[in-house]
Every structure is written in structure tokens, then in C-alpha cells.
Amino acid sequence: MPVTSQLFRGLPRTKVLASGLLPCQHHQSHLAPITQRPASRRPSCMWQGHQHSRSYQTTSALRSYILTPPQVNSILKANEYSFKVPEFDGKNVSSVMGFESNQLPANAPIEDRRSAATCLQTRGMLLGVFDGHAGCACAQALSERLFYYIAVSLLPHDTLCELEAAVEGGRALSPILQWHKHPNDYYSKEAQTLYFNSLRTYWQELIDLTSPGEVPDTREALLNAFKRLDNDISLEAQVGDPNAFLHYWVLRVAFSGATACVAHIDGSDLYIANAGDARAVLGVQEEDGSFSVHTLSNDHSAQNDEEVARIRGEHPPSERKTVIRQDRLLGLLMPFRAFGDVKFKWSIELQKRVLESGPDQLHENEHTKFIPPNYHTPPYLTAEPEITYHKLRPQDRFMVIGSDGLWETLHRQEVVRIVGEYLTGMQQRQPLKVGGYRVTLGQMQGLLEERKARVSSAFEDQNSATHLMRHAVGNNEFGTVDHERLSKMLSLPEELARMYRDDITIIISQFNPHVIGAQRQEGQS
């Protein structure tokens, strides 16, 4: 089964870094990587320079394979997906014209997941990127479950009662979501009954907590959905299941982890719920046709001073020096908010009790046995999202949601420029920049000719996410796609790919400025 294989595989560049969080390696010291590995995900010997200007080091491992352009395209386009919102009476009445998405694995299997769905009982569209670590189990569960929790949280009291009455009476349920899935997007059929029962318990509680005529608040709905699903993941792992496979599965979900960045778009109302280090940005078209970036989410990591202050404030002064070490939570975990990861949430006693009663396969895994160092006052980790709101404007042309594999390779302004040029067909002819590099006149002429050629060739991709991914993997130090570099990066052996880059998942939604403008005028009148 694709999703359940190799769930706790150790990674050279992983969000979780520790002796016991990686499977035993006979040729490695368990403790050395903690102190020797740089804080950055990207080993310094392989990448040099800052985010705007990276040099690419050719190694013997990279000289082995050269892919042809058709082979490169086949790899890049394997997981691309697009959806166009249907028109009514020849008119597009939605603020969202459609979206395009893509994924490129570095892990095997890929630990990222994506989801997209239209809310049928209420209004709006949901888009989400989930970045797993210590395996893909938690991200897989989020991709199937989180949107249902959000959709149920948005339902009014009367609709919740109708839902419960239908289940109680054995009648067919009206669908809550219309999913937009790629054929490769996995679906864990075996766990659906378990997932449904937990969801039903949640809406039963919502019925008791709400009143007839009460309209749910979107911000509260997103907050409650995130927290409740993470709580259910924890509870399901503690209770277990009579079915041996499900018992093992719920434990794998709980002991792995995942970050989540979700957008809910309803008319001109855009909400972002983010927990972790995936990111969402808006592409804003200025009057001169150029594009600027509007950041919609904050990374929950050591680079966020408010997050560092929050975590230190939640634990005693005696833990000030240990709760965050080497820019990681307890010296181990890069994101400071995530689903699952019960090793950073449960007490030591609870962890031992659950593992002792769990299947034998868990006892063979180093990840589950390991207790984080300086583990005194759990929980250290939360899945509570940071929620931001933005009122869409006609100049807000598109939104990009990406896992951190994208943002590690491209600056957010560069992301917006690449997508904006692709969607509008306009090339922003800015002065040619070569950073701090020395270039000859011949090299400069070559760069200018390459720029000229891009005008006709840049739009060979039919999917904006694929186009952005091509740049993320293939950009050279001059900001142009280098086919040789792209070929080498895509042909890296499985055991090397994760050392050079992370899984990349991208969702790009395009907005309708005419509909948004009309909705804003209606709201002001």
C-alpha cells in the first residue's frame, strides 16, 4: 500500500532531527548529527550564497544522468492538476476562477499532501497543503479529514440536526464537500468508518453547543476544526482499534507529524489557517502591470520571534535554554506548530503505556521509543492555527500556497513574479542582474539571448504550478531555468534527492477581479 510503506524512514534533511527520531544506522553515531548538522535544512557543502543568489556545485553524483527535455517534462507534469470553476449562464459568478496544483517528491514516498474541495452545504472553496515529517501518515490523514472538520464547523445548527437525523434514520447523507482530486491523491479506504465516527461525535457536540439560527464564525470554525482533529488523532491512538491494521495505522498517524496551511475563500473573504512552515502569499498586480507580494501567513519556526517568545512563555524559566536549541523545538523539530507528533505532546507515562499495548511493529521502530531530551513540561507542540483574514481586492490576482520545499528555493517575491508573468503573458523587463558574479561580455550576451528566447518558450507549461516548480528546481544563479541543472536535480537517486531539496507541493488559485470588484461595491452600498 503506497501510503503505509516506509512511514518512519530516516531522512538526511528532515524536520525531525535526533538519534531516536531516525531509524538506526549501523554506520552512524546516534548523537553526532544533533551537534554537527547545521541548523539549515540544506547542507552548506552543497549550497552556497543567500536566498537570492545560490551557486550550484556539480558533484560526481550529479554527473551520472542527463534527462532529455521530454523526460524532464514527464517528471514535472506527472502530478499536475487543474480545476476551472463552472460558469452559469455564460458568466463566472465565483471570485475564484479556478486553481492549478502540482507535487514533486524528494522523499519516497512523498510526505507532502494537498487537498482542494468546494463546500456544498455552505459557500466557499477550501485549498490546503500538508507537509509531513517522520513519514507521510499524518499528512495523509489531514488531507482526507481536515476539510470535513472545517465544513462541519461551518454548518448552522439546523443543518447539523438534519445531518444527525439522516444518520440516525439510516438515510443517505447530502454531500458536504465536492472534492477536486488528482488520480494519484491517495485515499485510505480502510479507515473511513473510524474517521466518520469521530466526525459524527464532533458534530453531535456542536449540536449541543450551538443554538437554532446561530451563524458560525469562520475564524472560530477554522480554529476549532484544527484543534479538534488533532485531539481526535491523539485520542484514536490512545484508544486503539480491534482491527490490527487500523490500530497500527492510528499510531503511525499520531507518532508522525504534519504542518498545514489552509485557505477558505468565500466571495471576497479570504481566511488562511496556518500551523507550521508552509506558506501562503498573494500576487498583487500594480498599476504598471508588475506584481508585488502580500504575505498571508507567518512561519512558525525559530525565525519567528513571536513564536519563540510564545513557546518560552509556556514553560518554566528553567527550560529557557533547552526548549529551543539549534533553532529546533527541544533541539529536534523545526516547525513549532504541527498536527500529530504526540512525542512532543503526551506525557512520558502516556507514551510508554500506549506503546506497551501497541502492535509489535512499533517496538521495532526507534522513532517511537525515543523520548526527547529535556522533556519536563509537555505539551511542547500545538496544532492551533494562526488565522489571518484578507478582504480580496480587484488587484489581488492570484494566491500561491506552497510547502516549505518551494520557499527554500525561491524568495516569495520571485515566486509572485514568475507566476504573474506566466498568467498574464507579460515579461517584466527589469535590468539584468548577475548578483556578485563576474561575467564576461560573452556570458552577458548569452544571458540576454536566453532572456529573449524565454519570451517565446516560457509558456510551454499548461499549468502555472508546473511552471513555478520548473523554476524552483531548475533556476540557476541568474534566475533563469537551466535545463542541465533541472535534469540533474530530477535524476538524483532516491537516497540523494532528499539531501538537495525537499518535497514540493504548490497550489495556485486565480481570482476574478470583475466579480471581486462587484462584490466589494455591493458590500459598500
List pLDDT tens digits, range 348-359: 999 999 988 877
Mind listing the pLDDT tens digit for each residue in 456-479?
Answer: 444 478 999 999 999 999 998 877
Task: Report the distance separating Cα 345 and Cα 338, nearest Å.
Answer: 10
Q: Residue 301: which H helix or E strand, with range?
A: none
Looking at the predicted structure, is the pLDDT value of residue 116 above 90?
yes
Q: In 214-304, which residue ranges form alpha helices assigned H by DSSP?
A: 218-239, 244-255
pLDDT value, residue 46: 27
Closest listed residue to residue 329, CA positions, set 110, 8, 21, 31 = 21
Q: Would you state the cell numbers that stand for residue 16, as one nine-digit string?
A: 525531525
Task: Report the distance separating Cα 506 and Cα 279, nearest Å.
Answer: 10
Mean predicted confidence (pLDDT) in 361-388: 85
Sign of CA dihedral 55, 61, 65, 70: negative
Sign of CA dihedral 214, 220, 221, 224: negative
Percent of the chain with pLDDT over 90: 65
pLDDT value, residue 92: 60
Mean predicted confidence (pLDDT) in 328-349: 97
Looking at the predicted structure, is the pLDDT value of residue 22 above 60?
no
Looking at the predicted structure, is the pLDDT value of residue 403 above 70?
yes
Task: Report the distance separating Cα 11 and Cα 497, nearest Å.
Answer: 10
pLDDT value, residue 450: 62
Q: Residue 505: which H helix or E strand, with range?
A: strand 504-511
The residue behind cell 523520548 is 371
Task: Report the distance separating Cα 253 and Cα 234, nearest Å.
Answer: 9
pLDDT value, residue 480: 85
Percent of the chain with pLDDT over 70: 78
Task: Report the distance separating Cα 216 and Cα 266, nearest Å.
Answer: 14
Q: How far is CA 451 from CA 291, 439, 460, in A?
A: 19, 16, 15
Residue pair 273/390 in contact by the 8 Å Cβ criterion: no
Mean predicted confidence (pLDDT) in 38-49: 32
CA distance between the termini of the chain: 55
Looking at the predicted structure, is the pLDDT value of residue 232 above 80?
yes
Q: Would you state the cell numbers that stand for residue 218, as one nine-digit string?
A: 469562520
The residue behind cell 514535472 is 76
For 336, list phi and psi in degrees, rounded to 5: -95, 0
Mind listing the pLDDT tens digit for each residue in 56-114?
Answer: 344 444 444 688 899 999 999 999 999 999 876 556 689 999 999 999 999 888 999 99
Which pTM was predicted? 0.83
Mean predicted confidence (pLDDT) in 335-361: 91
Categorize the per-residue pLDDT at 48 as very low, low, confident or very high, splitting at 50, 70 and 90: very low
Looking at the predicted structure, is the pLDDT value of residue 212 above 80?
yes
pLDDT value, residue 10: 32
Higher pLDDT, 229 or 441: 229
- Cβ neighbours for 364, distance < 8 A, ≥ 6 positions apart: none
Task: Report the distance separating Cα 186 and Cα 3, nearest Å.
Answer: 7
Mind listing the pLDDT tens digit for each residue in 118-140?
Answer: 999 888 999 999 999 999 999 99
Task: Report the distance separating Cα 206 and Cα 154, nearest Å.
Answer: 10
pLDDT value, residue 328: 96
Half-sphere exposure of residue 30: CA atoms within 13 angstroms, side-chain side: 9
Q: What is the mean pLDDT of the chain?
A: 84
Categorize the per-residue pLDDT at 439 as very low, low, confident or very high, splitting at 50, 70 and 90: low
Categorize the per-residue pLDDT at 498 as very low, low, confident or very high, splitting at 50, 70 and 90: confident
Closest listed residue to residue 338, CA positions, set 405, 401, 257 = 257
Task: Report the distance separating Cα 443 and Cα 449, nearest Å.
Answer: 10
Task: Report the distance separating Cα 205 and Cα 92, nearest Å.
Answer: 38
